[in-house]
Amino acid sequence: MGFSIHSKLKDDTFNLGSFQLCEVLLMNDSRFPWIILVPKIPDLRDFHEIPSQHRDVLFQEIERASEAIQKHQRVDKMNVAALGNQVPQLHIHVIGRLKTDEAWPNPVWGHGTPIPYDITSKSNVIQSFKRELAIAER
Amino acid sequence: MGFSIHSKLKDDTFNLGSFQLCEVLLMNDSRFPWIILVPKIPDLRDFHEIPSQHRDVLFQEIERASEAIQKHQRVDKMNVAALGNQVPQLHIHVIGRLKTDEAWPNPVWGHGTPIPYDITSKSNVIQSFKRELAIAER
């Protein structure tokens, strides 16, 4: 089977574009600056299953996402996680956390109810993240 | 400042030994097979701050911890995460998850109350993990 993004990930996010290894998604939850990286390799589930020749690039792309979030907004901590209990396809969360955010100091998953971006802020946040991630408009 | 393990991590875990890059800790919570890796580099906070020359080794050690958990017990999913909202020192959780565990499909952090290992199971689980991690007795 070829690579495609799991339907639940598609439903919950906006596609920001594509890095060398990963598709780059923005979680549609305005409470947190929250990027999801999905390696474009079929049938991966767990973090350590990333083939060794792709690990450097994955690390660089996690760094690129972390730095984009830090440019977007001053955050207190980055949370980086590959969980996959709900969506088994390997995907890596990169989330900027503030000591004043509503979930702090707990993890964001399962906390409260997502607040989707409204139509104006959606367009702004997508443009801003594409710029900070250095992803060209398609 | 030199490297030392944060006191809260020490309090919550048993030390299983040392890999090339990371100290290897076992969370004292018998509900989940839960290893914590702490890179022995002072002053790291976020995942992407790992210097590039250490990233391959970190990946290998995450893989070694994941495989040790899989040898220890058949699990359905690995959760790998660097959060650090409670303890800012960089540490990487490697947790084996079962669809029947009490937190599934939610993350384990903040879920319910830890159940410490009793004295017999503590000794057994430490020996078993040291063997599976190929860490020599000290």
In terms of C-beta density within 10 A (0-12 exposed, 13-18 middle, 19 or more buried), how is residue B51 classed? exposed
Q: Which of A52, A66, A106 sits opposite B46 (nearest CB)?
A: A66
Residues in A closer than 8 angstroms to B96, CB to CB, are none
Asked whether the beta carbons of residue B107 and residue A109 sit closer than 8 angstroms, the reply is yes
| Residue at B71 is within a domain | yes
| Residue at B1 is within a domain | no
| Residue-averaged pLDDT of chain A | 96
10-residue stretch averages of pLDDT, chain B, 138 residues long: 93 97 98 98 97 97 97 96 97 98 96 96 96 81
User: What is the pLDDT at residue A129?
Assistant: 97
> CB-side exposure of A14: number of CA atoms within 13 Å?
20
Residues in B closer than 8 angstroms to A81, CB to CB, are 79-83
| Residue at A138 is within a domain | no
- What is the domain range of residue B68? 7-133
User: What is the pLDDT at residue A77?
Assistant: 98
Q: What's the structural domain count of chain A?
A: 1
Residue of A nearest to B76 (CA): A85
pTM here is 0.97
Q: Which of B66, B77, B86 sits opposite A84 (nearest CB)?
A: B77
Residue in the block written with tokens 């997508």: A126
Distance CA B20, CA A11 (A): 41
Residue A50: CATH number of its domain: 3.30.428.10
Q: Would the pLDDT of A125 be above 80?
A: yes
pLDDT tens track for A71-80: 999 999 999 9
The pair of three-digit structure tokens given for residue B90, joined into one six-digit string? 């960089």
Asked whether the beta carbons of residue A48 and residue B63 sit closer than 8 angstroms, the reply is yes
Residues in A closer than 8 angstroms to B52, CB to CB, are 56, 59
pLDDT tens track for A12-68: 999 999 999 999 999 999 999 999 999 999 999 999 999 999 999 999 999 999 999
| Residue at B96 is within a domain | yes
Asked whether the beta carbons of residue A81 and residue B86 sit closer than 8 angstroms, the reply is no
Cβ neighbours for A13, distance < 8 A, ≥ 6 positions apart: A25, A26, A27, A28, A36
Interface-testing mutation among B78, B95, B99, with chain A (most A C-beta atoms within 10 A): B78
Confidence of residue A1 (pLDDT cuts 50, 70, 90): low
Q: Where are the alpha helices (DSSP H) in chain A?
A: 7-12, 55-72, 119-133
| Residue at A19 is within a domain | yes
Distance of alpha carbon A7 from the chain centroid: 15
Distance CA B33, CA B55 (A): 24
Q: Would the pLDDT of A124 be above 90?
A: yes
| Residue at B138 is within a domain | no
Q: Which of B45, B46, B85 sits opposite A104 (nearest CB)?
A: B85
User: What is the pLDDT at residue B127?
Assistant: 96
